[in-house]
Chain A
Amino acid sequence: MALISCLSEHQSPVVLDSSVVVNLNATGAASQLLSLMPMEVHVPYPVLRELERGGARGHQDATLLTGLAESKLVQIVELPEAATSTYLRLMSGSSRNSLGDGEAATIALANAANVSAVIDEKKARRIGREQFPQLLIASTVDLLAIPEIVGSLKEAELSGVLFNALTSARMQVHEPYVEWVVGQLDDALLEQCTSLPSRFRIPLAAG
């Protein structure tokens, strides 16, 4: 079954949140995937700082991201003045209605630059849609399903990329895309993908 990614034929830059950077790194093929993307990929500085704080626990996402920036596959960007007020507003107020630094920066930057945000995190996607209805919010799966990537990778390679993101990073997959993702993986592999809904991983008991 084919998936129409909301980023198909998308030429303007996209802004990635920490949740997406972590997923891309987990694929083990971030450089290859980013080199196939036709659009510029931006990551706001607060995302890098957030990943650096997490790096104290041993995971290497900040280092990997820095490497991708040095290879000019992504651009790490400061928030422009036009985005500052939105950025701070998204982090203020009640916990229920506020976001972490990286999530807020991604939405604020994308909104100010009139480009798309790529965020997997559920709450950030919800708040982004509620407060910025005109903003296109894509997901990691949207990135992986663009024609330039699907057309370039062999079936086994795409399956491997998705499997790695699902198992190493517990990538979230949002409802319209679950069946497509599941369709790329063997049953034996699906069992290990604990971030997928259980109905795809655990057969219903007989009777």
Chain B
Amino acid sequence: MSNSLDSLSPKELGLRLRISREAVGLTQAEAADRLFISRTTLVAIEQGKRTVKDSELIRLCDAYGVSLNTLLRKEAVHVDLLPRFRKMPEQESSGIAEAVAILNDLVSAEVELEQLLGIERVSRLPPERSLLPGDVRKQAEEDAQDLRKFLGLGKSPIIDLFALLDLELGVRVYFHPLSQKVSGLFAYDESLGACILINSNHRWERQVQTGAHELGHVVSARQDIDINQEGPHENSRKERYANAFAPAFLMPTRTVMQKFNEICAGSKRLTRRHVIVLAHYFGVSREGLVRRLEELGLAPEGTWDWFEKNGGITDKQTADVLGFVRGDLASFAYKSKGSLRLEMLAAQALDRELLSEGQVASLLGIDRLEVRELCDYLEDGHNGTHQLSF
């Protein structure tokens, strides 16, 4: 091995090369062809049994589209969530493989930054609830209320679900543009914790619904990964649980009944204005709110379908009633380079010169200009900015 690489063992380097190859979906034979080496040579390199030459290493990284520094950097974290998703039939769908790779990269980036900065991420997940025999929807309702009590939420609506997930429960939550059909992913690992990826291309209300659904998986069936996408839904017990958990968590039964009574008092029918105000109160989509009302027997079954057939409940109507439309605002997530926490960690690493611009760009999969934006609002001590002592 070249002296330039002797801080990384051949086995570790080989493992990283294998993960990088698999991340771009190349077989060993395909990769070997591109490099004009034999498959057995590549196998030996990946197993750490054969020293990789400098020129081969450069060509391998070119072929895999990965940064050499990412591969060689000692503290680079190479999370490998891919094999878990590979077992699911859905992962062959378009967009899923890409989403899994994105989640993998974002988790790797965050873990590496934590290690570099000497920060330990604290997970405060409650013990997992197993799925018991019987009605999973009732279990989900009860578990959702128990979690609300655990978090001290009482009966109040949730102002920011993602801040709750991240800052209260210690869940790693990321936003990234994904294929339109993919709402989100969930994976759990003992060392990494719970990890959720949300499609930043979706409207805010749909993101919240996805987040709450994935939270259902965090609470129960934690060890199973989840792919949340459009199309025929899996009808497993754990999916039915998560589907019931989300509205129960966001819109607790008694609170919905109470607010419904207050808002709709004196009316003989449910109007668009009622739906808009209640959805705004709970921070959910108009459809989500109406379906919850149907579920709780506060609106006849088919109410949402009626609204849809009769012009829907539009953003303009919402803006007229509320004075703004939350879903029209680019959510912070849409512009985020992964997550707010990830951005803060990266900015600190830059400020302390633990990582360079180029390293942060490749770590977060962003360009130089976006890296520089991370440094906005880093105080430079002018006007007596307070120093923090830990």
Interface residues of A (CB under 8 A from B): 18-19, 22, 46, 49-51, 53-55, 57, 59, 61, 84-89, 91-96, 98-104, 121-124, 126, 168-170, 194-195, 197-199, 202, 204-205
Contacts and interface: CB of A to CB of B under 8 A. Distances in A.
Interface string B378-390: 0110110000000
Contacts, number: 151
Nearest to B69: A91
A122 B67 CA distance: 20
Given A53-B65, A84-B58, A61 B367 contact: yes
Interface in B353-390: 353-359, 361-362, 365-370, 372-373, 375-376, 379-380, 382-383
Contacts of B67: 50, 53, 100-101
Contact of A100 (B62, B361, B375): B361
Contact of A126 (B54, B353, B355, B359): B353
B68 interface: yes
A93 B76 CA distance: 10
B370 A99 contact: no
Interface stretch (B4-12, B35-43, B301-309): B4-12
B178 to A, nearest CB: 14
A168 B4 CA distance: 37
Nearest to A23: B368
Nearest to A54: B367
30 contacts: A19-B368, A50-B67, A50-B361, A53-B365, A57-B367, A59-B368, A61-B367, A85-B3, A85-B4, A88-B5, A91-B69, A94-B7, A94-B74, A95-B73, A95-B74, A95-B76, A96-B116, A100-B356, A100-B357, A101-B362, A102-B358, A103-B356, A103-B357, A103-B358, A121-B358, A123-B355, A123-B357, A126-B353, A170-B376, A198-B379
Contacts of B74: 92-95, 98
Interface in B23-73: 54-55, 57-58, 62, 65, 67-69, 72-73
Nearest to B65: A53
A129 to B, nearest CB: 13
B80 interface: no
Given A100-B359, A102-B358, A124-B358, A198 B370 contact: no
A50 B360 CA distance: 12
Do most interface residues of chain A lie in helix, strand or loop, or is the interface mixed?
Answer: helix
A59 B367 contact: yes
B367 A169 contact: no
Contacts of A96: 116, 353-354
Given A121-B358, A198-B380, A98 B72 contact: yes
9 nearest A-B residue pairs (beta carbon): A100-B358, A54-B367, A88-B4, A89-B4, A198-B382, A170-B372, A91-B69, A123-B356, A123-B353
Contacts of B7: 92-94
B114 interface: no
Contacts of B367: 51, 53-55, 57, 59, 61
A121 B356 contact: yes
B236 interface: no
A89 B3 contact: yes
A194 B369 contact: no
Of B55, B65, B112, B369, most buried by chain A (CB within 10 Å of CB) is B369
Contact of B54 (A88, A104, A199): A88
A85 B372 contact: no
B355 A95 contact: yes
B358 A18 contact: yes
B224 interface: no
Nearest to B6: A92
A85 B5 CA distance: 9
Nearest to B74: A94
Interface string B72-86: 111110000000000
A202 B58 contact: no
B2 interface: yes
B244 to A, nearest CB: 38
A89 B8 CA distance: 11
A45 to B, nearest CB: 10
A119 to B, nearest CB: 10
Given A88-B4, A93-B74, A100-B357, A22 B54 contact: no
A204 B65 contact: no
Nearest to B13: A92
Contacts of A49: 62
B55 A99 contact: no
A93 B4 CA distance: 9
Nearest to A19: B357
Given A94-B75, A96-B354, A57 B383 contact: no
A54 B368 contact: yes
A99 B361 CA distance: 11
Contacts of A199: 382
Given A50-B361, A101-B68, A92 B353 contact: no
